[in-house]
């Protein structure tokens, strides 16, 4: 497998990879390797989280795939001359599930509230009747019970693990326990994706997604996110300044 082209946007790495290329990587990796690889999502908010958290920064640098999850990241990549398309983590998870149904791959879900976890699994089974979801656990497993959870995942022979603990909890869990998992080949951090599947958190209508306005819809739905969304404007400003500096530097040569 040829690794995707990894580029630097401000001080954060991200891969030039499409949805189709990511799915191809998942399929080939499961069929041809005996190692676990992580898929993590990069968006403008994550850029600032990685700046403040050295553990996250190092963990992301070691990921097999860093998908360009936010449209802000995609625009920044394009402005800097890179070929890029958005690979939304929530969409990727569901595409992996569809692919797993065809490939007969086994899936385990860990994270979110019990009713959300159970409800998402039920809905995915309705959408994909042949899907092999071989186990699940909510996100409230106590530290002293983690050994039992690891044993449960190993006994399930799951090849795909979705971890829905939110960041940085899901990355901290992966860093601590992935080496103990025997059959898992792909592990994706999916944050609040299970909530979108059951509808406790609604995604933007399709037309808004196509217009790259999902961030605006989420702000309308959750005004408390305003402080977080300010990061988008800060990110856009930094990208503009960085690009201007690059152009001025090139003009002097």
**Segment among 2-11, 54-63, 113-122, 174-183 with least mean pLDDT:** 2-11
Statement: residue 226 has pLDDT above 60: no
The reported pLDDT for the residue numbered 228 is 61
State the average pLDDT for the chain.
89
* Cα 211-164-228 angle, rounded to 5 deg: 50
- Residue-wise pLDDT for 134-187, tens only, equals 999 999 999 999 999 999 999 999 999 999 999 999 999 999 999 999 999 999
The reported pLDDT for the residue numbered 222 is 57
- Residue-wise pLDDT for 125-143, tens only, equals 999 999 999 999 999 999 9
- Mean of the pLDDT values across residues 31-46? 95
What number of helices (H) and strands (E) belong to the chain? 12, 8
Global confidence as pTM: 0.88
Q: Where are the domains of the chain?
A: 5-203, 209-252
- Mean of the pLDDT values across residues 189-216? 74
Fold that domain 5-203 belongs to in CATH: Rossmann fold (3.40.50)
Confidence of residue 94 (pLDDT cuts 50, 70, 90): very high
Statement: residue 227 has pLDDT above 70: no
Burial 174-197 (b: 16+ CB within 10 A, else e): bbebbeebebbbbbbbbbbbbbbb
Q: Give the long-range contacts of residues 128-134, CB within 8 A, separation 24 or more.
A: 128/97, 128/98, 128/101, 130/101, 130/104, 131/97, 131/100, 131/101, 131/107, 132/100, 132/101, 132/104, 132/105, 132/106, 132/107, 133/106, 133/107, 133/108, 133/109, 134/106, 134/107, 134/108, 134/158
Confidence of residue 236 (pLDDT cuts 50, 70, 90): confident
Top-confidence residue, 128 or 199: 128
- Mean of the pLDDT values across residues 72-86? 92
Confidence of residue 237 (pLDDT cuts 50, 70, 90): confident
């Amino acid at each position: 497998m040829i690794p995707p082209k990894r580029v630097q946007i401000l001080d954060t790495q991200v891969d030039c990879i499409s949805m189709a290329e990511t799915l191809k990587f998942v399929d080939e990796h499961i069929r041809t390797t005996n190692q676990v690889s992580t898929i993590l999502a990069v968006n403008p908010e994550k850029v600032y989280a990685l700046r403040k958290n050295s553990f996250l920064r190092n963990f992301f640098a070691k990921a097999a795939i860093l998908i360009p999850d936010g449209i802000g990241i995609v625009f920044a990549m394009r402005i800097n001359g890179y070929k890029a398309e958005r690979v939304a983590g929530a969409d990727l998870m569901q595409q992996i599930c569809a692919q797993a149904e065809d490939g007969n791959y086994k899936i385990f879900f860990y994270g979110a509230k019990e009713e959300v976890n159970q409800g998402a699994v039920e809905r995915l089974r309705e959408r994909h009747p042949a899907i092999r979801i071989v186990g699940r656990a909510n996100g409230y497993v106590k530290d002293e019970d983690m050994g039992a959870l690891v044993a449960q995942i190993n006994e399930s022979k799951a090849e795909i693990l979705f971890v829905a603990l939110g960041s940085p909890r899901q990355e901290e869990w992966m860093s601590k326990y992935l080496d103990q998992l025997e059959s898992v080949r792909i592990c994706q951090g999916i944050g609040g994706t299970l909530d979108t599947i059951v509808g406790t958190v609604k995604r933007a209508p399709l037309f808004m997604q196509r217009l790259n306005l999902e961030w605006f819809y989420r702000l309308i739905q959750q005004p408390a996110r305003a402080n977080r969304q300010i990061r988008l404007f800060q990110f856009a400003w930094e990208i503009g300044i960085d690009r201007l500096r690059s152009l001025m530097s090139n003009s002097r040569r």
